[in-house]
Structure 1
């Protein structure tokens, strides 16, 4: 049994959970050899402010999150039994070794390349199904929930469920780019249809990429059943001005303003 797993109702409390991605904290730290800012200290501060999860995306080149960060965060979170640990990355690079060692609550599989600047697309199904099946099966045997990073394509949701995924994380860059433009409603409806298809297939839903304090409430208000949002770049940028605690509280206010509980 996964020693980190907390009961689902304790993790979410019936509302969309906020998982803070700490990659950009590590990226800044890695520009010098002083160990600051501290990734674990950042985690502690955002959790004390009310975040329900921590996300990291360790890449093979360790440009930001390092293997030592992952183990230190896992150790820190043992004192936070209500908090989820989400580790994301490409299972065909370095991710499976990390998952085997740490056994987080959730592994989010992302189809990025080794030197990719940032994640920019989801898995393509059924094209990627054959190679994903074995790593999904292994991860679930380890007691770790599997989430697949997916574009807003309703037709792929049943295929994701048939592979054994527990959740999909909807890649929200298209929505963020369209927000505030005449295309906002049109693009948002793609996410609504995809979420409906995911729920119909028995999947749970996460979302992330370029969500921020401006666009988050509109997204959650429209898209049904979002269990968790993973936010890093915008949240850490906001924290440079507001501090970790006020930033997390403001993102939680955005979630509250959406007024829509996560599906169960």
Structure 2
């Protein structure tokens, strides 16, 4: 923020809640550059009024809250912060894989409730991760970082499904999402949010998963059909789910919170100070370039 103030006359919102449509329109009319983030309402309707801004330097790699085509049609550049978030998000994927497979969330709740009665040979048996097969949906920077961790740290076989052919060392691309789900013990959603990936993990894909398999989502909430997931968890058709994102953040359905076989985190993917600072510096570099009429270093 200090670096931004050295370069710009900065307006900082007091609220941490997403900007609504009126706020987005006001920002577009009054600022030269905007640094939006997750949930800010920069849909197509935001760009129908007066616009002074030259661009949106998004704070974050995901930008499904921005209608990029509408922004470009209105003459705005759009940039994001890839790279800075890769390792931290992959680390959260591993956290969720282990917590879900080994039932760590259930175990902690048991201890905190004072209900643990001591060790015994069949207490809370979970899925042994080492040597299993992980299927990664979306093999971009984050997907590849997850693959490296799974392969090198846990000796896992790595399969992946990508929207386009993409060779990745020591991993095997499969032809369909259904094939990936059927062959994997752990399925990790790392695909970019886009209209064509909404509810990509739907009831049919969940039905293709093995009964013991776990689903992890570190992408965006709407790439998973949340209602179908709740049904699969309640019926025991999959082993569990580890989620860092939700369809209607910050709302989490009561039915999902009631699933003991779900691990639920409050969107912690990049929640480390050095990572958020790196994201901010990258967003600021993009903002300065936009203000100076240059192409941003990280255009969408």
TM-score, normalised to structure 1's length? 0.32
Q: Which has the higher helix share?
A: 1
Q: Which has the larger radius of gyration?
A: 2
TM-score (norm 2): 0.29
